[in-house]
Structure 1
Amino acid sequence: MAKKQQPQPNGFVLFDVIYEDGSRSSNRKVPATELGGLNGDAPARAFVELQDRKIGEMSGRPRGRIKSISRSPKS
């Protein structure tokens, strides 16, 4: 008997990021496939940090350290 495949989440989950310097970045997209499992939303922080590093390298102005990250409220 064939094993049923679990449905994979698709799309993005939006997160609000607050940096240690008090600045805020709203509605940061994180692929839904990066989330879930035993770690829940914890991988979102690593994903956003990677995005920030890439943006900082391209712009020459690195972002500050992340103070907190939370899901954006639904509109």
Structure 2
Amino acid sequence: MAKKQQARPSGFVLFDVIYEDGTQTSNRKVPVTELGGLDGDAPARTFVEIQDRKIAEMSGSARGRIKSIARSRRPRPSAG
């Protein structure tokens, strides 16, 4: 009997990144496949750092060092 394949999570998780110079970027996409396991969200920082390096190579303008990274909060629905 064939084993049933488990569904792999797809999509992205959004992160807010704060840099040491005080600038912030919001809603940085990190693939779900990069997260989880024993490291939890820690791989997101590495993924964003790699993205920043690639962007810097293309633009010629480097980003500062990352101070903190956290999952983006979903906006609350407005009351109305």
Shorter-chain TM-score: what band? over 0.9
Equivalent in the alignment of 1:59: 59
Q: How does 1:1-75 map to 2 (within 5 A)?
A: 1-75=1-75
Quick one: distance in 1 between partners of 2:36 and 2:7?
13
Quick one: distance in 2 between partners of 1:55 and 1:38?
29
CA RMSD of aligned residues (A): 1.0
Structure 1: tracts of 5 or more residues without a match: none
Percent of aligned positions that are identical: 77
Structure 2: tracts of 5 or more residues without a match: 76-80
Larger radius of gyration: 2
Other structure's SS at 1:47 match: helix
**1:47 maps to amino acid:** F
Quick one: distance in 2 between partners of 1:40 and 1:60?
32
Equivalenced residue count is 75
TM-score by length of 1: 0.93
TM-score by length of 2: 0.87
Quick one: distance in 1 between partners of 2:37 and 2:5?
15
